[in-house]
Amino acid sequence: MTDVSFVRSEMLPEKAPPLSTTGPVGWLRENLFSSVANSVMTVITLVAIYQVLAVFFSWAFQSTWEAESLSQCREIFAATGVEGAHGGACWGVIRERFSQLIFGFYPVELRWRPVLTFLLLLAAIAPVLFTWAPRKLLYLTAVFPFLGAWLLWGGAIWNPLVAMAGFAIGFFAYRFVSGAFGPLIGVICAALAPVIWWIFLAGPVAGLLTSIIPLGIEAVESRNFGGFMLSITIGVVAIGASLPLGIVLALGRQSDLFIVKSLCVGFIEFIRGVPLITLLFVASTLLNIFMPPGTNFDIILRVMIMVTLFASAYMAEVIRGGLAALPTGQYEAADALGLDYWKAQRLIIMPQALKISIPGIVSTFIGVFKDTTLVSIIGLLDPLGLSNAIRADQDWNGIVWELYGFIALMFFIFCFSMSRYSMYLERKLQTGHR
């Protein structure tokens, strides 16, 4: 009997999608040429980009690296037929002043110390940023702030050791006081004891130990710091210290204790309501007034403190947003498990809040690193401050774009790297369904 049914008895093989909807052609049609208006805007934009890039590459690659002054650049351009006095880039200024833009006026024979510090920094942050890094490097992470400061500024070995002792004093103060008077009093004593030690006792103790056993390396004054070394130093300290301070301020702002909440709210709102440049002027001129007589408070240290406090106030609001975005059920689950406040924050609440806040945290970090250029206004020779000093030289008077272009490129590399890491971390911690 002949089968005359219209129902197919087997599945047809799948066919490849049309070429116009897949691959580069499909992407172009969907994103750039999806409509007449979109196509017109794409063509206009491409023409504008071509015009800009053509001029830029013509200027950047019709250049010279050999000149030792701006006048020599112009002579070389005239001899090679480059039209106009500024028809090509005079990269000779970068070649001649590269080490100064990186290290400032740091002694040449001691520049191995900031290089070593930067390499140790990369090793110290590796276990914090990446899970594949050896966990033993966390010991280096713990001591790096003191080791790095000692390598950069030099001096007696007892200075970083005495500074480290402050944290040990705070730990033991918490252990002894919290057992007798409760955890709140213990936390207050743990915060006050190191501050008292650092301000009033650390200096005399370090001086006494140095007089007994004089061990150390050659000291370098802060006025020799400059260039990207100064920007990275201030940026790393502000970024590293503002995150834990921001967490403490965010938790304090949500505290049920009226005094704690009022202090945190007042600090956050005051700092966020004052421009950073104002705080830097306070650090450079007024902060010594509030210190004990005879205290020599390093200008770079003062700037680090002010930039850190400024960043921590913004960080607190970012983290508070993450805490507010967390479902109430997470707090109820922590209570149902019988966890106390600190265990709930450490194991359940804060990890999720930080995950939610990753874009805002990294954005704050990038902003802080870029804001380090403001220190040039108070006389510190960061890359922008050095560029002004270089242009004041008679040999390079009048050169602008090459210096600013190089500085912009270096800042872009650092900031773009932080942005890429943020996206990597978000993908790594992605647990929801899209």
245-286 pLDDT per residue, tens: 999 999 999 888 888 899 999 999 999 999 999 999 888 877
Superfamily for the 224-428 domain: MetI-like (1.10.3720.10)
Q: What is the mean pLDDT of the chain?
A: 88
How does pLDDT run across 336-363, given as a tens digit for each residue?
888 888 888 889 999 999 999 999 999 9
The single-letter DSSP state of residue 90 is B
Average pLDDT over residues 127-154: 92
The answer to whether 384 and 229 are in contact (CB under 8 A) is no
pLDDT reading at 84 higher than 50: no
90, β-bridge pairs: 64
Quick one: pLDDT at residue 433? 46
Rounded to whole angstroms, the Cα distance separating 173 from 404 reads 50
Least trusted range by pLDDT, from 15-19, 28-32, 138-142, 310-314: 15-19
Where is average pLDDT lowest: 43-57, 82-96, 141-155, 354-368? 82-96
Nearest residue to 121 (alpha-carbon basis) of 98, 106, 143, 104: 143
Of 5-9, 307-311, 393-397, give the range with the top mean pLDDT.
Answer: 307-311
Assess whether pLDDT exceeds 90 at residue 9. Answer: no
Of 260, 85, 377, which Cα lies nearest the Cα of 76? Answer: 85
What is the rounded CA–CA span in Å between residue 393 and residue 382? 17
Span of 45-54, 105-114, 269-278, 422-431 with lowest mean pLDDT: 422-431
Which segments of 139-209 are extended strands (E)? 155-156
- H or E stretch covering 217: strand 216-217
Confidence (pLDDT) at 10: 75
Mean pLDDT throughout 70-77? 86
What secondary structure does DSSP assign to 65-81, as a single string?
Answer: S--SSHHHHHHHHHHHT
Q: What number of H helices and E strands is found in the chain? A: 19, 2
DSSP helix/strand/coil, 64: strand
For 272-328, the pLDDT digits (tens) are 999 999 999 888 877 667 666 666 678 898 899 999 999 999 999 999 999 999 988
Q: What would the mean pLDDT of 59-85 be, rounded to a whole number? A: 80
Q: What does the domain layout of the chain look like in residue ranges?
A: 158-217, 224-428
pLDDT in tens, 192-244: 899 899 888 888 899 999 999 989 999 999 889 999 999 999 999 999 999 99
- What φ, ψ does residue 156 adopt, rounded to 5°? -70, 145
Where are the alpha helices (H) located in 197-327, listed in sequence order? 202-212, 227-253, 258-272, 276-285, 299-325
State the burial class of residue 4 (Cβ atoms within 10 Å of its Cβ: 0-12, 13-18, 19+). exposed
Give the model's pLDDT for residue 431.
Answer: 65
pTM of the full structure: 0.87
Higher pLDDT, 85 or 45: 45
